[in-house]
Amino acid sequence: MTRRDRKRAEKKKLAELCEAHPHVREALKIREKCGRPRLEADHPDLFKTIVDNAIHWSAADENRHSDVYRGIKTLDELTAHLKLDGFSVSRSGVYLRLLPKRNSTLEGK
C-alpha cells in the first residue's frame, strides 16, 4: 500500500465515522470545505457588533446645544472595541468588512 492509498483509506474511514456519529465531526472540528473558514462562520454576529459599536458610540452632545457628535473616529478605535468584545479581527479585516460588496449599489455610492 502506498502512502496515498493509506491516506485515502484513512480519510474514508473518518468520513464513515462522522456520518455514523455526527458529534465526532463537531468534537474534531471537521469542516465541509478545505481551507480557512470565513470569520463569520465562527462569529456569526460580527457584522452586527461592528454596526452596534458604530451606532452606540455616535451620539449627539449630551446638552444638545451643538451638533457635535461623539463617535468612533478611526479604524483603530473600532478594532480596539471589537477586541474588547472578544473578537480577534485584524485592522485590515475590519476595514474589508466595512466596505460595501458592490460599489454600484446605493450602499456603495
Please write the tens of the pLDDT for every residue from 60-93: 555 555 555 556 678 888 888 888 888 888 899 8
pTM for this model (two decimals): 0.54
16 inside domain = yes
- Cα gap 50→82, rounded to integer Å: 7
44 inside domain = no
- Cα gap 34→58, rounded to integer Å: 40
Question: Into how many domains does the chain fold?
Answer: 1
Q: Which of 7-11, 21-25, 60-64, 74-78 has the lowest mean pLDDT?
A: 60-64
Sign of the C-alpha dihedral computed for residues 51, 52, 54 and 59 taken in this order: positive
Residue 26 CA from chain centroid, whole number: 19
17 inside domain = yes
Domain of residue 3 covers 1-30
47 inside domain = no
Residues ≥6 apart with Cβ < 8 Å to 93: 39
